[in-house]
A and B are shown apart, each in its own frame.
Chain A
Amino acid sequence: MSHSSQPAFSSGRLLRACLYAVLILFAVYYLLPLFVMLVNSVKTLDEIRGGNMMSLPKNFTFEPWLTAWSSAQIGVEPTGLSPYFINSILMVVPAVTISTFLGALNGYVLTKWRFPGDKVVFGLMLFACFIPFQIVLIPMARVLGAIGLAGTTSGLVLVHVVYGLGFTTLFFRNYYAAFPDELIKAAKMDGAGFWRTFTRILLPSSGPIIVVTVIWQFTNIWNDFLFGASFADFDSMPMTVALNNLVSSSTGVKEYNVHFAGAVLAALPTLIVYVVSGRYFVRGLMAGAVKG
C-alpha cells in the first residue's frame, strides 16, 4: 500500500511544482508592463533616456505624477489630467448606478412578473450585448444631437446606460431566475406589491450580483475610449481620451515619465475597484453560473 502510493504522491508534487512554475511565469509576463510603468513614472526624463527601461530609479521623484495630474499639456491647455478625471467620475457614477438599477429591475420583471413575449424581449436585450459599438456610432451621434445631449456628460451617461443594459439585465436575470418563486408568493400574501417586493426582498438579497455588475460596468465605462472620443467635446472629455491627448500632444519633448504616470493614474480607479471587491466578483459570477 505505502510503497505504491509513494511514487504517486511525489509525481503529484512534481506536477504541482510545474503548475506553479507556469503560473509564476504568466504572472511575471502580465506584471512586467505594470512594473515598467511604475518604475519609469518615478524616474527623471534624463535617466529614462540614458538608461535601461527595466532598471530601478536612481533619483526617485514624484514630479512626473504631479505634472501629469495638474500641469501637463492636454491638447492646448496645460491643465493636467485632473479635470478629466473629474469628468470620468461624473460620467461613471451615474452611468453605473442607473444601468445596474435598471438591469436589476429588468431581471426582476423578466423572471418574477413574466408577461407574454418576455422571452423575445430578453432575447433582444441579449442581442444588444453583441452589437459592435462601431456600428452604432453614427446613429447614436444623430440621436444625441436630436435630443440636445451631444457633447455633454449626460449624453455619455445615456450612451453607456443603453449599451450596458444588455449585460446588466443578463446578470440579474440569471441571478433572479434562481431566486425561489415561493418567496415572491409569500411577499404577495404578506401584502407587499411590485415595488416593495423588489426593494425590501429582492434587492437586499442581491449583494453578490450587484458587486459583479458594478465592477463590470465600472471597468467597461471607465476604460471606454471609443464613445468618449466620439461623443464628448472638450469640456466633457473622459480620462481615457485626455490621456491619449497627453501622450500624443505634438509640442515639445516626449515626457515619457509623465506619460507613464498619467497611464497609471487612469488605470488606478479600476485597479482599486478590483482589489476592494474582486473576491465578490468571482463569488458572484459563480453564483450566477451555478444557479442560473
Chain B
Amino acid sequence: MSFLQIDKVCKSFGPINVLRDISIDVEEGGFLVLVGPSGCGKSTLLNTIAGLEKLTTGEIRIEGNVIDDLAPADRNIAMVFQSYALYPNMNVGQNISFGLEMRGMPKEERDAKVAEVAKTLQIEHLLDRKPGQLSGGQRQRVAMGRALVRNPKLFLFDEPLSNLDAKLRVDMRTEIKRMHQTFGSTIVYVTHDQIEAMTLGTRIAVLKDGIVQQYGTPAEIYNDPSNMFVADFMGSPAMNLIPATVNGNRVEMTRADGAPLVLSFDKLPATVSARNGKEVMVGIRPEAITDAAGRGGDKCIQAACRIDVVEPAGADIYAITVLGGKEVVTRLHQDWPGMANQSAELLFNLEKIVFFDPQSGERLR
C-alpha cells in the first residue's frame, strides 16, 4: 500500500477549477516532485495535503487513513515555505522550537531537540539571531530545521529554493537530496524548475492547468513523454518538435534549402503508420542529434544540414539548424570543427525519436 495517496482530488475556488481529478500515489521514503508552470495549481495541491485548503472532492490518505478532516497541526506533516515564513519576532532557536512548544513539549526536551537539529544543519552559531539578520541560505536552513525538528511523517516543500541565487540553489539542492537519503523521509516537493524536478525526484508529476499531464520516474518523463507539453517543458534545452510527413515507413521533413530529410524506420508505431500521407510531430532531444564523430551505430541516419548558429557551452556545442520550418537545437561534441553558415553532417538517433499528434499534442505510440 502506498504511503501517501492522493485520490481523485478536485479543488475549486468559486467557479475556478484549480485542481481537476488528481490521483497520485507515493511510496514510503519517496520523493515526489510536482512540477509545472506558474499558476498550474502546485501550491494549491500542496496546501490541500497540508490541510491549509479544504479539497472540494476526493480523498487524501496517509498510511491508509483519510486525513481530510484533520487540522493541519494534527496531520504530522511539516512544510517549508517559499518565503521560509520565519517568525520575524523570534530568534532562530525560538522559531525552530515554536511547533514543539505549541504541542506542549517541556522546555528541556525542546532545547535538546533544537540543539540536535541545529547541529545537523550546522546552524548552532545562529540560534540567537533574528531571521532579519540571516542570509537567504541561512534562512533556508532554519526553515528546514523547523520542519525537521518535529520529525514528521511527511515533508512538504513549496519552491524552497526559488529565492536563492543560482549558485546557492545548486548547493541547497544537493543538500536536500542528501537529507532525503540520510533520513529516508517521504517528501512532496513543488517547483517550477524542471532541472530541480529531474535531479531531486524519485517520482515526478507534471501539472498543467490543474491536470496531471504525466506521472512517472524522471527517466520515464524525460525519455517517454506522454504529450507535447511534457516533452517541451522537461529538459533544457527543450526537446525539438519538428513537423514531418509520414510516407510508408519513412518520415520526411524539409531542410532549410527545401530538400527533404528522410528518416527511414524499420517499423513505425501503428498509430503513426496509420497517418500515412499526413503530418505528425517528431520529437527529438538535442543530444539525439549529434555530429558525425559521434557513436553512430546502425540505428542512426546521417544527413547534411546547414548550421545557422553555433553556441559553445563548455562541455558541448549547441548548433542550431532549421528543419520543418522550426529551429532545431543539436548537441555536438566539444571539438566539433564546423562553423556557422556551413553545412554539417549530423547523426539522427532513430531510437530516441518519439511522435506526437500535431492537433491534440498527444503521444503516438
Contact = CB atoms under 8 A, between A and B. Distances in A.
A31 interface: no
A291 to B, nearest CB: 13
Given A182-B82, A196-B102, A188 B87 contact: no
A132 interface: no
B83 A180 contact: yes
A201 B102 CA distance: 13
A185 B52 contact: yes
A251 to B, nearest CB: 57
Interface stretch (B72-80, B225-233, B297-305): B72-80
B81 interface: yes
Contacts of B146: 186, 190
Q: Interface extent on A, as a size class?
A: 10 to 19
A205 B81 contact: no
Interface string A182-218: 1101111111100010001100110000000000000
A89 B85 CA distance: 40
Given A201-B89, A205-B88, A190 B83 contact: no
A186 B50 CA distance: 10
A39 to B, nearest CB: 47
A190 B97 CA distance: 9
B85 A185 contact: yes
B98 A192 contact: yes
A182 B47 CA distance: 11
B141 to A, nearest CB: 16
A204 B131 CA distance: 14
B103 interface: yes
Contact of A189 (B72, B82, B83, B90): B72
Interface in A155-205: 180, 182-183, 185-192, 196, 200-201, 204-205
A199 to B, nearest CB: 11
Interface string B336-359: 000000000000000000000000
Contacts of A201: 87, 89
B87 A189 contact: no
B99 interface: yes
Interface string B47-79: 100111000000000000000000111000111
Nearest to B75: A189
Given A182-B82, A185-B52, A185-B79, A190 B89 contact: no
Contacts of B88: 183, 205
B89 A189 contact: no
Contacts of A190: 73, 98-99, 102, 146
B161 to A, nearest CB: 15
Contacts of A182: 81-83, 85
B11 to A, nearest CB: 16
B2 to A, nearest CB: 23
Contacts of B79: 185-186, 189
Given A188-B52, A189-B79, 14 more contacts: A180-B85, A182-B83, A182-B85, A183-B88, A185-B85, A186-B81, A188-B73, A189-B99, A190-B99, A191-B73, A192-B73, A192-B102, A200-B87, A204-B90
The 7 tightest CB contacts between A and B, nearest first, are: A191-B73, A191-B102, A190-B99, A204-B89, A186-B85, A182-B85, A182-B81
6 contacts: A183-B88, A185-B81, A186-B79, A189-B79, A190-B98, A190-B146
Interface of A: 180, 182-183, 185-192, 196, 200-201, 204-205
